[in-house]
Amino acid sequence: MALPKIETCLSPSLLHLYDISESIVVIIDVFRATSTMAAALHNGALEIIPVDDVDKCIRLGAEIENSITAGERDGQVAPGLQHGNSPLEYPREFIENKSLILTTTNGTRLLHMCSDASEIITGSFLNLGAVCDYLTAQKKPVLLACASWKDRYNLEDSLFAGAVYDAIGHQFEMNCDSTRAATHLYRQAKPDLYGFIQDSAHFLRLSKFGLQYDMEYCCKIDEHNVLVKLEGEKLVRGN
């Protein structure tokens, strides 16, 4: 039987080049939307509702019982919201059995751009293993979709795409230079992922807000190893 195809999209501005109608799309926003999603669901959040803008976030927060509104713009908690976009803000004692309504600069936008996909899951180093296990089991075509930074290529999201291919690539058909480059980079970074990632635009930007420990945490492989899957309008724990 022919192997399913795996490809990597390096920016939302390149998404039109890929046919995702039969594919599982893995939304990747390592710093920090998809890391926060894995942490919150692993720590018992009921669901995560990703929304595009702050106003909608506030409105849903008023409507939905037992919910938390969260989101950042340019690394700061957005005015009108309660919490930020750090995986460390959502320990079990705080988030268990609550709904997290989340808006972020890049990740939630890309997620909504991929509504044509057959399935959507989200990926981060915190749940790398769960992502790989799911993709391997499903045997469907895969698009690894990097949220990037305002449509500009970023290093950390493509490193995650490379980590997926490094782990399970042999079970897919691949002829995609974005995936090749991501895998070369990941194999170079693998011995010291956090060290490697420190020379990147996003690391330098978020460091100005004192978020180094956040980013170090986002590099912890399988720390919150749950599958994060879109069901209707909500991200829920899939395993």
152 binds a second copy (CB under 8 A): yes
CB of 185 to a second copy, least distance (A): 6
* Site residues (CB under 8 A) for a second copy, limited to 1-60: 10-11, 13-14, 16-17
161 near 146, Cβ under 8 Å? yes
Question: Which of 181, 190, 220, 238 is the binder for a second copy (CB under 8 A)?
Answer: 181
Among 35-43, 76-84, 92-100, 171-179, the segment contacting a second copy (CB under 8 A): 171-179
CA angle in degrees (0–180, nearest 5) for 59-62-67: 110
The arrangement of strands across the sheet holding 47-50 comes to: 6-9, 142-146, 24-28, 119-123, 228-231, 234-237, 47-50, 99-103, 67-73, 76-77
Q: Give the contacts of 183 (CB within 8 A, at least 6 positions apart).
A: 162, 165, 166, 169
3-state helix, strand, coil in the chain (%, to 5): 45, 20, 35
Q: What are phi and psi of 83, to 5 degrees?
A: -135, 170
Question: With binding defined as CB under 8 A, does residue 154 bind a second copy?
Answer: yes
Cβ closer to a second copy: 3 or 201? Answer: 201
Q: Which is nearer to a second copy, 94 or 153 (CB)?
A: 153
* 175 forms part of the interface with a second copy (CB under 8 A): yes
* Tally of CA atoms within 13 A in the half-sphere of 170 that contains its CB: 2
Cβ-contact 177, 165 below 8 angstroms: no
Stretch that binds a second copy, among 22-30, 94-102, 122-130, 150-158 (CB under 8 A): 150-158
Specify the stretch interacting with a second copy by CB under 8 A; choose among 30-38, 134-142, 172-180, 228-236: 172-180
Closest to a second copy by CB, 168 or 181: 181
Intra-chain end-to-end CA distance of the chain, in Å: 27
User: CA 66, CA 63: separation in Å to the nearest integer?
Assistant: 10
How many binding residues for a second copy (CB under 8 A)?
Answer: 28
105 binds a second copy (CB under 8 A): no
Nearest residue (CB) to a second copy, 90 versus 165: 165
Per-residue binder mask for a second copy (CB under 8 A), 182-221, x = binder: --xx--x----------xxxx-x-----------------
Write out the residues near a second copy by the rule CB under 8 A: 10-11, 13-14, 16-17, 149-155, 158, 175-178, 180-181, 184-185, 188, 199-202, 204
